Structure 1
Amino acid sequence: MRRKDIDGSESVPGFYGKELRWKREQAGLTLQQLAEGSFYGLSHLSEIERGQRRMPPDLAEHVDRVLKTDGFFARRCEEVRKAKVRGHADYYAEVLELEERAQDIEEWMPDVIPGPLQLEPYIRAVIHATYPSEPAEQTAEKVSARRERAWLFEDSGSPETWLVMSELVLLRPILGADEMAEQLAHVVEVAQRRRFIPQILPWNVGAHPFTMGTTRLLTFNDAPPIMYTEGMYSGQVIDDPSTVRQYAKAYDRLRAAALPSDVSLKMIERAAEDYRNGKRPRGLEPGQVAQEQPQQR
């Protein structure tokens, strides 16, 4: 079977990957042979050659030594990284690549609606709050980049996602009433396509495992799971197996504390309707959680 060639004209990462494969084959090396002596596997190199993953600086230096390319790949890997993350924070580069390969994603959002579900007014409000002095062209680039990730929740081939959001996300009026109503209605409409399972964690639930920033657990068909945590201006990929297991167990406890998905979806719909009618959504009252949930047998 003839191997599909890489079109290096499509993107900077594609050109970089095509050059890497050409140099490797010119040296008469397999992917496994090129990976030997590095901390990376052949699948990582294969994805770089296909333009699907960025080259870490330490791997680029290893490749330059093995292929005797006089620092070419180390010098160019920064250009590839910038091309991959344009419109996104630098620390999010690796996650952008990983989410394209993920089979399942489990996510916790304590403060805002997830980026791929955000509409443009909501995106702009979040960006302006975080970067109040940012030039308009940079904001526009970020808005475009975030909307391009809508496929994660909307495409039929996207990873299956389990999403737990704090009830405070519904109660906090980041936008005017009409725009908040439209934003929440959009979340409901996408959820009804059954590409993600929503759960709301009541504001009055008390102590829970994730009293912290955004957290995502990504699982793959061909690689170990990873955990990603994010603060306001930083993010970290965690791949240590024991730590990832701890996070996964904590996420299971979080889901158990959250309302069922059908009840959660009705809460989002009700909040959208309240905003649409010019009313401020009201949170659950103490003791109301049990009334919202169906009886368990």
Structure 2
Amino acid sequence: MAGPKDLDPSSSPRAMLGAELRHARERKGLSQEQLGQRLFVSGSFVGQLESGARRMQLEHARLLDEVLETNGFFLRNCKAAAKSKYEEPFAEAAEAEAQATAIREYAPSLIPGLLQTRAYAQAVNRAYDPMALEATIDEWVEGRMERIRLLDNPTKPLLWTVLDEAALRRETGGRVVMAESLRHIADLIRRNRVIVQVLPLSAGAHAAIQGALKLMEFADAPPLAYFEGVRTGRLEDDPATVAQLRFTFDLLVASALSREKSLALIEALAQDYTHEEHP
């Protein structure tokens, strides 16, 4: 029987690689859990590789070729599937985000990427690296704007964000930029494209007080959690951990303002920024 053909670089390499992995696994009569044991990873991780939600690493490709007897196919094609338009270490999370059917996110100190305007993204990236060339900043911002095109679809993915009030009051890029950013969020809310709730400063201590959180669900793969810190990012696929983090998000929602009160606060702050800039 002929083996799988090498991937066409003009197609979607990760999606095709995942489809080939599912085909090869089923041909060997292995479940995702059984294959995961051979790779020293979870069955959930295998499912995410098959769906294209996660990137295949070289060490996994070598083991897959050995276990599934695919004559070096996965190793040959792993590099093509790993190419990304996004900067490390956030590339894998951004690519998973593009596959998600639902995204739930808590943002403690800044407006998260999918809700940013171009000017806000410019200010964030400049603060991230004050010494970067303008061309580099422009490239990063374009990558962010491409991610935001996920919201061009009128219904998918579901985007549910809990914004800390501190993120709305932190003047990122100046008052004009903040006014534009908050009006943009308010517009998305009024068009019923996103769900946004504000966690008020008066809520005090809360379940995610130590940092940001993103949860992603997929049509044909187990959910993922993503943690981001200073120049670091990590995906988590352990089912028990992801379930606990979903509970954390539910607690945040319970502590946040209602959708109506959140919208009113966002629009009021947008007005404040506008009036303070143009007295």
Q: TM-score range by the shorter chain?
A: 0.7 to 0.9
3-state SS in 2 of match to 1:30? helix
Q: Which residue of 2 aligns with 1:30?
A: 24
Amino acid at match of 1:171: R
Q: Report the Cα distance in structure 1 between the residues aligned to 2:158 and 2:218, rounded to whole angstroms.
A: 11
Deviation at 1:68?
2.8
Amino acid at match of 1:30: A
Q: Mean alpha-carbon deviation: is it higher for 171-180 or for 29-38?
A: 29-38
Q: Which residue of 2 aligns with 1:165?
A: 163
Q: Which residue of 1 aligns with 2:104?
A: 106
Q: Would the aligned equivalents of 2:102 and 2:216 in 1 still touch at CA under 8 Å?
A: yes
Deviation at 1:222?
2.7
Deviation at 1:44?
4.9
State the TM-score, normalized to the length of structure 1: 0.76
Deviation at 1:55?
2.0
**Deviation digits for residues 251-293 of structure 1, max 9, x if unmatched?**
111111110011101111111111111169xxxxxxxxxxxxx
Q: Report the Cα distance in structure 1 between the residues aligned to 2:219 and 2:15, rounded to whole angstroms.
A: 27
Q: Report the Cα distance in structure 2 between the residues aligned to 1:125 and 1:147, rounded to whole angstroms.
A: 14
Q: Would the aligned equivalents of 2:94 and 2:147 in 1 still touch at CA under 8 Å?
A: no
**Deviation digits for residues 190-211 of structure 1, max 9, x if unmatched?**
1212121111111121110111
Map 1:257-296 onto structure 2 (within 5 A). Answer: 257-278=255-276
1:261–1:218 distance in 2 versus 1, CA, 3 Å? same
Higher relative contact order (CA 8 A, sep 6+): 2
3-state SS in 2 of match to 1:54? coil
Q: Would the aligned equivalents of 1:6 and 1:14 in 2 still touch at CA under 8 Å?
A: no
Q: Report the Cα distance in structure 1 between the residues aligned to 2:15 and 2:210, rounded to whole angstroms.
A: 40
Q: Which residue of 2 aligns with 1:10?
A: 10
Q: Report the Cα distance in structure 2 between the residues aligned to 1:264 and 1:245, rounded to whole angstroms.
A: 26
Q: Which residue of 1 aligns with 2:125?
A: 127
Matching of residue 87 in structure 1 with residue 94 in structure 2: no
Map 1:138-149 onto structure 2 (within 5 A). Answer: 138-149=136-147
Q: Report the Cα distance in structure 2 between the residues aligned to 1:259 and 1:268, rounded to whole angstroms.
A: 11
Deviation at 1:62?
1.9
Q: Would the aligned equivalents of 2:7 and 2:17 in 1 still touch at CA under 8 Å?
A: no
Amino acid at match of 2:219: N
Deviation at 1:92?
2.3
Matching of residue 59 in structure 1 with residue 57 in structure 2: no
3-state SS in 2 of match to 1:10? coil
State the TM-score, normalized to the length of structure 2: 0.81
Deviation at 1:131?
1.1
RMSD: 3.0
Q: Report the Cα distance in structure 1 between the residues aligned to 2:169 and 2:54, rounded to whole angstroms.
A: 38
Q: Mean alpha-carbon deviation: is it higher for 54-63 or for 144-153?
A: 54-63
Deviation at 1:177?
1.9
Deviation at 1:228?
1.0
Q: Which has the larger radius of gyration?
A: 1
Amino acid at match of 1:151: R
Q: Would the aligned equivalents of 2:98 and 2:147 in 1 still touch at CA under 8 Å?
A: no
1:256–1:279 distance in 2 versus 1, CA, 3 Å? farther
Q: Report the Cα distance in structure 1 between the residues aligned to 2:240 and 2:224, rounded to whole angstroms.
A: 11
Q: Which residue of 1 aligns with 2:71?
A: 68
Higher helix fraction (1 or 2): 2
Aligned residues: 261
1:30–1:250 distance in 2 versus 1, CA, 3 Å? closer
Q: Report the Cα distance in structure 2 between the residues aligned to 1:15 and 1:33, rounded to whole angstroms.
A: 18
**Deviation digits for residues 91-125 of structure 1, max 9, x if unmatched?**
32332332233222211000111112211211111
3-state SS in 2 of match to 1:158? coil
Gaps of 5+ in 1: 281-297
Deviation at 1:221?
3.2
Amino acid at match of 2:102: D
Q: Report the Cα distance in structure 2 between the residues aligned to 1:57 and 1:6, rounded to whole angstroms.
A: 16
1:177–1:134 distance in 2 versus 1, CA, 3 Å? same
Q: Would the aligned equivalents of 1:31 and 1:46 in 2 still touch at CA under 8 Å?
A: no
Q: Report the Cα distance in structure 1 between the residues aligned to 2:215 and 2:12, rounded to whole angstroms.
A: 29
Q: Which residue of 2 aligns with 1:288?
A: none
Q: Report the Cα distance in structure 2 between the residues aligned to 1:177 and 1:214, rounded to whole angstroms.
A: 24
1:6–1:112 distance in 2 versus 1, CA, 3 Å? farther
3-state SS in 1 of match to 2:272? helix
Q: Report the Cα distance in structure 2 between the residues aligned to 1:244 and 1:12, rounded to whole angstroms.
A: 28
Pick from 95, 98, 123: which aligns with 1:97? 95
3-state SS in 1 of match to 2:203? coil
Gaps of 5+ in 2: none
Q: Report the Cα distance in structure 1 between the residues aligned to 2:63 and 2:245, rounded to whole angstroms.
A: 32
Q: Mean alpha-carbon deviation: is it higher for 211-220 or for 253-262?
A: 211-220
